[in-house]
Amino acid sequence: MPDLIAYVDGGSLGNPGPSGIGVVIEGCSGGTIRIARWIGRQDNNVAEYVALLEALQLAVTLKATALHVFSDSQVVVRQMRGEYACRSSRLYSLHWICRKLTRSLKFSITHVPREHNMEANGLANSAVRQRLSSNTVGPASFSRSDVTS
């Protein structure tokens, strides 16, 4: 599997509030993978980490040798680079799992302004809007049917 590039974003309406993630992964043999997923009621930083986790899990599943991630979350980027310590109890386990997954491949992460992450941002927002418009209440859905290519 060649190197993959991922654009990730998580967002919430309110902090915390209804949340979703958006992930765009390029470099796959079958074409670009786009994921828009509702993740329940979370805060924005949790949503950002869940988006990163989704990209990492998919890269490992696809047996990628390398993953370069672009994110508009300075907190996630700086914590993953080791520039900021992760002291938040609600982020610690997500951070730890992400760090562990990065050991399985060549990993890098770069901060980009939101305007350079618009597709992932749009996917995250659409996941929340779709869930809210359906007026359903229940646990977050993590089915693979949320994945489009």
Beta strands in 64-105 (DSSP E): 66-71
Joined together, the tokens standing for residue 96 give: 């730890």
All structural domains of the chain, each given as residue ranges with its CATH number in brackets, are: 4-136 (3.30.420.10)
> Average pLDDT in the 16-21 region?
96
Mean pLDDT of 24-30: 94
Burial (Cβ within 10 Å: 0-12, 13-18, ≥19) of residue 6: buried
**Summary mean pLDDT of the chain:** 90
3-state helix, strand, coil in the chain (%, to 5): 40, 30, 30
- CA gap 14, 54 in Å, rounded: 22
Determine the number of helices (DSSP H) and then strands (DSSP E) in the chain: 4, 6
Q: Give Cα 32 to chain centroid, integer Å.
A: 15
Tell me: the pLDDT tens digits for 65-85? 999 999 999 999 999 999 999
